[in-house]
Amino acid sequence: MPQVLAAAALALTAGASTLAVGCLRRQAGEAERPALFCALLGLGLATALGACRLASSIGIATGAVQVWFEQATLQLGVPLIALACLASARGWHWSGPTWGRLLLGLCAFFELARQFGASEPYALGLSLLSALLVTYAGLVRWPDRHAALAGALGGLLLLAAAWAGPHGDVAATFALALAAPLLALLLRRLGRSAEPLANG
């Protein structure tokens, strides 16, 4: 039962967060859209992971598909969201091709780690770095307390998810479920104060 609740929570909160960021992207300027698209991709992966875990918890075989979404969420989705938060916080407007290169780089390292059997330590390191970037993104816009709180809590939850492990652990799933709306809120708050910082 806890597995079902955790998976359903992840599918619902990540799905709602995907819709929220999608609305934010439609309202954003042209310069902000590539970053928000990458955040959408990351949240979409988390939504798919929640759906796979929910199907698995009620007896539907998901097998390798679930494993792939677990790895892709931690090694592609979460880092993309963290980079989108960082770029928004600093007022960096990277071009679509730049984001494309970042995505391709993450995909290449994702596949290399998978081929060499190093997915778990690589995912842990990447999750820790992503959590730090999310926390920094919230704090750098101080005195916006909402952004700072969303960044700090989102970063802590990403750390908790990474520490608990990638393979459907209930605590990790709940942590991701709680982190998703906080990350969407952080992106919204950062979008409202998106002027480039001094020295940025």
* Chain segment 93-106, per-residue pLDDT in tens: 999 999 999 999 99
Dihedral sign of CA atoms 130, 132, 135, 137 in order: negative
* pLDDT value, residue 194: 54
Which regions of the chain are under pLDDT 50? 198-200
Whether 89 maps to a domain, the answer reads yes
Q: Contact, 55 vs 62, CB < 8 A? A: yes
**197 lies in some domain:** no
Residue 161, domain member (yes or no): yes
Give dist(CA 118, CA 71) in Å, integer.
Answer: 11
At 163 the pLDDT is 80
CB-based contacts of 116-120 (< 8 A; 24+ apart in sequence): 119/71, 119/75, 119/166, 120/165, 120/166
CA distance 23 to 185: 12
For 134, the domain range is 2-192
Total tally of structural domains belonging to the chain: 1
- Cβ atoms of 173 and 142 within 8 Å: the answer is no
Query: Does residue 151 lie in a domain region?
Result: yes
On whether residue 199 sits in a domain, the answer given is no
| Alpha helix (H) residue ranges in the chain | 2-27, 33-57, 63-72, 78-90, 96-115, 119-139, 145-164, 170-192
Position 112 in a domain: yes
pTM here is 0.92
